Structure 1
Amino acid sequence: MFMGVTMSWFLVLKSLHAVCIISHLSVSSAESYPCIQKLCSNEKCDPNPNMCASSKGCFSERQEFEDSGMNNALEQKGCSEDSCTDLAFSATLGKCRTFRYDRRCCYTKRCNKELIQVPPLSSEPNGVECPACYSERGSCRQVSLKCTGEETMCVNIIGRGIDTERIPH
């Protein structure tokens, strides 16, 4: 009798081991699906976007930089090489200069085909003030900036413009 119980547990453990291996293989072999792949500048895009294959997800992202009423937009769609994370934020860079960004992830066939819009900026002051300085020449005079909406942190960013040679015109 004792021997029969031991055999049963052995068979149960062997069966559980087989179930674990099969489950692992079915979960780790993710289905691949196509995503729209394109780059646009100021709403000018290639009329025939490419496709890419992904098992991590598709993404759509949009960046808008506004400077004294002039709006420059960059939109990109494609396949995520790593896990995709949604992210949206805005930054006021000084008087009449704003940057807005929105990245959305999705996980089905061609799910990134829709146009995305960055959320509008709030004009409601929130009580936070930050030192601000924006210059394309390397030096500027710092001013106090009254933050609005969800912009509640002061950050120091130093950057360079993008290479417009790779963007369709």
Structure 2
Amino acid sequence: MLAKVEVKDSCSAWVLIGDLQVFLRIRGNRDPVSSSRSQLCDTMRLFLSIICIFSASITAGTGLQCQDCQNYASTDCTGSLAVCSGSATSCMAAVTVITSDNLSSSSIVKSCASYPQLCGVFYSITMGPIHLASKTECCATDGCNSGTPQLPPRDLTPNGVQCPFCIAEASSCTSTGNIDCTGSETRCITYSGGIYNGTQFEQKAFKGCTTENVCNVPAPPYPATLLQQGYQLSCTPGATH
């Protein structure tokens, strides 16, 4: 909230506080040399100064502050506090872990939560031997996103759904077989587009199993996620057996 003061004469002024415009005038003896009127004018000027200081304090104090950092090589990062825009009402921390056989790659992003639909979301995708899991947590106090979200243990119980599988560094890929889906991954996914690797976007195409929320809540593009603007994602029920 900003205050703007426009002095009309020695003892009156327009005060603009946000969208509220107020005219203040000291009424009394019109004699400009009147000591009582002079004191009142001094009081008004002091009052206006207090309004300006108070308004500046409101401006500095109302913005939520969140830890802001990224690390595309581990699940740990620490950054300075950043003031969120007026539309952000919470802070977020998102962890993503990709595993393939005995290898793994992790990343974490902490920032203001510009997309509240991602708050509290856990999802996973399986593309044959490659498994991706991600979890986002949100909170609503200054600097509250300093921790690291913990991924739940992977559920390898077959759920009876089969999906076509393929993966390629290209704009599309063709499946040569199906994989058995496990746990809560009950939908088949097809993806094409760029994925951020920490330094640049890499073109990827894949098919596999995924959790249903990936299909129901469209993910925003980078930097809110690792997905490049313009990506294509679709889901199908998959075959059951």
Match of residue 39 from structure 1? 70
TM-score (norm: length of structure 1)? 0.69
**1:49 matched residue in structure 2:** 79
Aligned match for 2:148, one of 115, 123, 126:
115
Per-residue CA distance 1:28-78 (angstroms, 9 max, x = gap): x994232111101222766x5121123521000011111232111110001
Distance 1:36 1:79 in 2: 8
SS in 1 for 2:94: strand
The one-letter amino acid of 1:42's match is: A
Shift of 1:84: 5.2
1:145 maps to: 179
Q: Helix, strand or coil: the match of 1:165?
A: coil
Q: Please give the alpha-carbon distance, in whole angstroms, between the structure 1 residues aligned to 2:151 and 2:193.
A: 21
Say which structure, 1 or 2, has more relative contact order (CA 8 Å, 6+ apart).
Answer: 1
Q: Rg larger in 1 or in 2?
A: 2
Inter-partner Cα distance in structure 1 for 2:110 and 2:179: 33
Aligned length: 136
Matching residue of 1:99: 132
Deviations 1:78-99 (A, max 9, x none): 11235453221001011x2011
1:159 and 2:193 matched: yes
Alignment check: 8 A CA contact 2:91 2:140 kept: yes
Q: Could you say which residue in structure 1 is the equivalent of 2:167?
A: 134
TM-superposed CA distance for 1:111, in Å, is: 1.2
Instruction: Report the aligned-residue RMSD.
Output: 2.5
Change (3 A) 1:104 1:45: closer
- Deviant stretches of 4+, over 6 Å: none
Q: After superposition, what is the alpha-carbon deviation per residue over 1:94-152, rounded to whole angstroms, capped at 9, x for unaligned? A: 1x201111111111121111111222221111111111111236655522110111000
